[in-house]
Structure 1
Amino acid sequence: MGNKKFNLTKLALAMGVTLSLSGCFSDNDNNVEIKPPVVPPTTVKVPVSDTKEALSFYVNASVVDATADDLTVVPNATVKFFENGVASENITDVSGNAITELTTATGAFTFNVDSDSDISEVTVIISAEGYFNKTSVIDFGDKDAVVESLITLAKKDALVVKEATAAASGGKLSEDLTTKTDDDSVTVSISSDVELRDAEGNAVTGEEVSISLVTAPLDAEDGKAAAIDVLPEGFSAVANDDATLVVEPAGYVEVNMSAGDTAIKSFDTPISITTTVKGDFAEGDKFAITSFNEETGVWTKETGEATLGAGNEMTFPASFTTDHLTGFLLSRTKEVCDAPVTYTVTGSDIPSSGLFMVLISNSFLKINKITESSGTLVTQADLKRFGVAKDATVEAILFDVNDFEFGNVASTNLCGEIEIAATAPTTTLVDDALPMTFSCSNAEVDDQLPLGGAVVTYAQTGKIPLVASESANGTYALNGLVSGEEYNVTVNTRIEGFTVDTFTITAGSTEAQNFVRDNCVVEDKEVTGTGSGS
């Protein structure tokens, strides 16, 4: 009997019945090869790293209270960036987005410079509730390293302030006005014949005007602000153009007036201002006047001068007239230093987190971050710009981010080399490594990828933050920590849509951190033999 398995009837063929055996065979009638179906590979979605390349340069700045006993940040500060009197177009955040101003809840802020810009400094105007506005120039040189900067702000109640009101009508005072501070250090006199004008030169309206006088002595008592704490930076190059001379401040006063919400900016006839200067001067001595526009951060040399009246125990009234209101600096010149300002730290080593060095006198203030035992604080080319006089003396103070003092020289020559002996605090300082990774809820595998290229800072509550440098891919160095103390860590991933809440670590027992995000970049990857997708 024939093999029924291979006995195909015409009916079966007509109905399209296909019989198959293991292996392949050909239809002898049509010679068609029969192939098995193709099964597509199985894939899973895996995360792809989208971290940024680490920044080699940016600025990390902190606003600190000039009159506090300890190193305390000023919260809720507003920072505006200027160049040559107009809002800067060259400043960005650390993600590359253009900014002209920012508000910092913690008192600390970071920023960068547009990659196409060749600027080496920017003017910042900083304001905060209860504090006197401060203008500072942040110098970042060649932009080849992270710059850490401190900017001091003085409380208004630590200054000499006088506020008063006066009746007005038709853009003029109803009667002559003379107002002075309680300590008699500043007096302003305005005739009732003077027209009070706004910024556009129009006579103001209203029945009452207010006037504010603000000043600070060169030498202030403890807990009070000195003139150097409020004096805007950048005046030295404007106040005189002689390359062999630098400006020495003798006094600073700011006078403001308003009619309701309208600021009074000028007058049709000059008014009189008298302030106090102290020193080895004589009646009749003259002082240059440089005015400061607090809205643009620009200094302007005035054509007039202030003249000293009769003195009493080296204290003299200095009077001048002006047809506008702003801040006014009275100054004289001195011979410029002829050598760069350098430093040498002996004794204790500089900690890995670095130290801040403050050079301060009643007419000079400069704060530098140092990481080496010797270096340059002011180059030869910048001596005039920073106002370094040949005979200037300063106090030099070394301290760290934890507010531990490492050294202090009560008086040293500013011109040339400054030597300061450092002694490390007895408190135990530790360096911690902080590995950080991220995983992805929108991926189908639980991979953890290194979080590299972030901007990471750390600080004790209410204190200034330091930058944590990236020591390896996704691992950051937290140096100079007080063992056992808690530090707040702030992470800016620089990745759009990926934010990390501030978290706390304990110095000496820092643990790795992983952050879950839902917007990772993913790609399809074929599952291999194990089906793990890895």
Structure 2
Amino acid sequence: MFTNKKSLLALSVASAFALTGCFSDDDGNDYTPPGPGPDPVVVVPPQTPAELNFIVNVAVVNGDSDAIADATVRFVENGAPSTNIVDVDGNVVQTATTTEDGGFIVTVKSGSELSSVTAVVSAAGFITKSFNVDLSNEDELSVLPAQFQLTSTDTAGLASVATASTDISGSTTTAEVKADAAVSGASLATATLPSGITLQNAAGEAVTGDSISLSVVGTDPTSSTKSSVIPEGLNVGNTSANVLVPVSVADVNLLVGDTKVKKFAGDTLKVTLAAPTDLAAGETLTVKSFDDETGLWSADDFAVTQGTGTVSFETNHLTWFAVNRNANTCTDGFSVNVTSGTIPAGGLYLSALSSDGSVASFIRGGATSKTVVSAATTLRYGIYDGATARVRLFDREGGTWFDSQTEVGVCGSVDLTPVAPFTLVNKELTLTGACSNDADVAVNVTNSTVSFKRAGKAARAAIKDANGNFQLTNLREGENYDVTVNFRGLPVEGANTFTIEGANADALTQAFQFTCPTSTGGTGGTGGNG
């Protein structure tokens, strides 16, 4: 019993000592409470990129709507490199090169009032062409399609030739050089460079070398190929009361080694082009030339001589040339009406093409009519009072929905009856994102851009709806589509691509993971109270 009492007494004393620890202790030993513990680590989502309300879906294609890789697209505003076309991250885009998907996405710089831009597009094996892109977006599309169709150099109605020569002394020709672009023995365009010409660059500086190469591209004046290759904008800035209608066009270029010759001194280059046989004798004809650096046409004062089925002039510079006649401007504009059938959800392209000119447009899904060229802009777009053209509706994979087959009057209204050549489906795509280091933390990916493509065709941008989902429209049922998501700087882990196999109308949700930053926050342990 004594032992147990002693143990209990010791325990009591020890307990009393422990309980007085928060007060004073006669032996001077103070108790120090533990400090706060480390703040907890918190996973936070990366910053969401700003929303894009309007994007331009650029696509470079051939005549079959197949994607053209390695095409160069150069944007020009008012004759100078563009400063208002930007990529989805806001970086200025003056020149871009297509990948195998044949295109890319751009937009207009925030705060810019740019209403149009010129795109000069080139690719190996195709005729370089400029396109005028209307950015006014009167249809208020969230995705504006800008499809640039290039013409292959071996297209019917087209002839090209290059003549190489070593007859040059410094920067002066020592013998005549001639290039004749002909088809089946018939000349479409001939350029003759006399002896004794001094060759210069665009700045008027002498270009020297050992050899020169004179090249010419000519077109059949009665073929619509002529209008498919001529740079757009021939009538832009035209202040007369009449439309300029191209009679004959040709592209003439000269190289000394790899350097372009743009001007001459001492003499002129003689150019002869094939002309329509119904061209009235003595009709007033004028010449305009295109500057591929500025993207602008300008008037030349060259006298035009008519021959039997030919027109000719002399020039002191090199580029695209158009010999033009005058015609009365159409005062009714050019519009189309959908009298039966339906424009599919993804919209359709419209082309009106003849030997006199061409017009391209886009008709949004469900539309029953479209003003292609307003009465106020027929002069700018070269629509004259008797203009005719073959009118065609086609989708972005090249499927034809309407074809007038023959030329119809386009000064006024044209009735369309679109018929689907394939069974199409539309698919709703929902993107979700989460942090890889904390799956409970969501990442907002609704401000991404989504593009999709079928093998060999140009990529198309999906339309984002009001709920933040993406609409993939005009898919050919049962076909496979590759989808690419641009998360616009969000640090995605793994691939940003996937494939839709056997396209159908079922909604699809695709999840992605992202590397998310961490931060410390909150309150650590409290320790004891004193």
TM-score scaled to structure 2, two decimals? 0.86
Q: CA deviation at 1:502?
A: 3.0
Identify the match of residue 220 of structure 2 among 172, 193, 217: 217
Residues 375 and 265 of structure 1: is their aligned pair in 2 closer, same or farther, counting only changes over 3 Å? closer
Aligned counterparts of 1:54 and 1:92: Cα–Cα separation in 2: 14
| CA displacement at 1:89 relative to structure 2 | 1.2
Q: Is the 8 A contact 1:149 1:368 kept in 2?
A: no
Query: What corresponds to 2:227 in structure 1?
Result: 228
Deviations 1:229-266 (A, max 9, x none): 2111111124x421x32111111111111221222222
Distance 1:187 1:42 in 2: 82
What amino acid maps onto 1:252 in structure 2?
Answer: V
Q: After TM superposition, give the deviation of residue 271 of structure 1 in Å.
A: 2.4
- Structure 1 vs Structure 2 CA RMSD: 3.1
CA distance in 2, matches of 1:211, 1:60: 37
Give the 3 Å change call, closer, same or farther, for CA 472–90 of structure 1 in structure 2.
closer
Matches within 5 A, 1:334-373: 334-371=327-364, 372-373=367-368
Q: Deviations over 1:130-165 (max 9, x none)?
A: 212111111111584321121111122333011112
2:409 aligns with: 413
Q: What secondary structure is seen at the aligned counterpart in 2 of 1:55?
A: coil
* Structure 2 letter corresponding to 1:208: S
Q: Distance in 1 between matches of 2:379 and 2:438?
A: 62
5 Å-filtered alignment, 1:202-281, equals 202-220=205-223, 226-238=225-237, 240-242=238-240, 244-268=241-265, 269-281=267-279
Shift of 1:467: 2.4
Give the counterpart of 2:392 among 390, 397, 411.
397
> Structure 2 residue aligned with 1:458, among 452, 458, 465?
452
CA distance in 2, matches of 1:287, 1:362: 17
| Alignment map for 1:313-332 (pairs within 5 Å) | 316-332=309-325
Q: Which amino acid in 1 is paired with 2:408?
A: T
Q: How does 1:12-411 map to 2 (within 5 A)?
A: 18-20=17-19, 40=37, 43-48=40-45, 50-66=47-63, 70-105=64-99, 106-142=101-137, 144-145=140-141, 146-158=143-155, 159-166=158-165, 167-182=167-182, 183-220=186-223, 226-238=225-237, 240-242=238-240, 244-268=241-265, 269-309=267-307, 311=308, 316-371=309-364, 372-409=367-404, 410-411=406-407
8 Å contact from structure 2 (residues 250, 320) kept in 1 = yes
Q: Distance in 2 between matches of 1:472 and 1:211?
A: 56
Distance 2:397 2:507 in 1: 18
C-alpha change, 1:523 and 1:343, in structure 2 (3 Å) is farther
* TM-superposed deviation, 1:29: 9.2
Counterpart CA distance in 1 for 2:188 and 2:522 is: 81
Contact 1:432 1:478 in 2 (8 A): yes
Taking the aligned partners of 2:519 and 2:274, their CA distance within structure 1 comes to 72
SS at match of 1:157: coil
* In structure 1, distance between residues paired with 2:492 and 2:91: 16
Residue type at the aligned position of 2:509: A
Moved more, 444-453 or 352-361: 444-453
**d(CA) in 1 for partners of 2:52, 2:180:** 52
Q: For residues 378 and 522 of structure 1, what CA distance do their matches in structure 2 show?
A: 55
**2: CA distance, partners of 1:28 / 1:522:** 45
Return 5+ residue gaps in structure 1 as ranges: 529-534
Is contact 1:273–1:319 with CA below 8 Å preserved after alignment? yes
Q: Deviations over 1:257-305 (max 9, x none)?
A: 1221222222222221111110422343331100111233121110123
CA distance in 1, matches of 2:519, 2:310: 76
Aligned-pair distance for 1:471? 2.7
The range that moved more, 52-61 or 247-256, is 52-61
Contact 2:137-2:144 within 8 A present in 1 as well: no
Letter in 1 for 2:317: H
Q: Which residue of 2 aligns with 1:471?
A: 465
Is contact 1:59-1:110 (8 Å) kept?
yes
Say which is worse superposed, 267-276 or 34-43, in terms of deviation. Answer: 34-43
Mapped partners of 1:132, 1:460: distance in 2: 25
Between stretches 99-108 and 166-175, larger displacement belongs to 166-175
**1:45/1:444 contact within 8 Å kept:** no
How far does residue 473 in structure 1 lie from its aligned partner after superposition? 4.7
Change (3 A) 1:498 1:248: farther
Change over 3 Å in CA distance of 1:422–1:27 after alignment to 2: same
Provide the rounded CA distance (Å) in 2 between the counterparts of 1:417 and 1:331.
26
Cα deviation for residue 207 of structure 1 reads 3.3
3-state SS of paired residue (2:302): strand
How far does the alpha carbon of each residue in 1:25-62 deviate from its partner, in whole angstroms, 9 at most, with x for none? Answer: 866999xx999867658734233253334322121021
The separation in 2 between residues aligned to 1:179 and 1:479, in whole angstroms, is: 48
Question: Which one-letter code corresponds to 1:80 in the other structure?
Answer: R
Q: Judge conservation of contact 1:44–1:527 (CA < 8 Å) in 2.
A: no
Q: Which amino acid aligns with 2:475?
A: L
Which residue is equivalent to 1:502?
Answer: 497
Query: What do residues 370-396 of structure 1 show as CA deviations (whole Å, max 9, x unaligned)?
Result: 121212222233222111112111222
Cα distance, 1:419 vs structure 2: 1.2
Distance 1:147 1:164 in 2: 42
Partner of 2:479: 485
1:305–1:94: structure 2 CA closer, same or farther, 3 Å change rule?
Answer: farther
2-structure distance, mates of 1:28, 1:210: 105
Give SS of 1:324's match.
coil
SS of equivalent to 2:289:
strand
Rounded to whole Å, the distance in 1 between the matches of 2:12 and 2:208 is: 115
Q: Which moved more, 1:347-356 or 1:276-285?
A: 276-285
User: 2:129 corresponds to which letter in structure 1?
Assistant: K
CA distance in 2, matches of 1:173, 1:340: 50
Q: Which amino acid aligns with 1:205?
A: T
Contact persistence 2:45–2:435 (CA under 8 A) = no
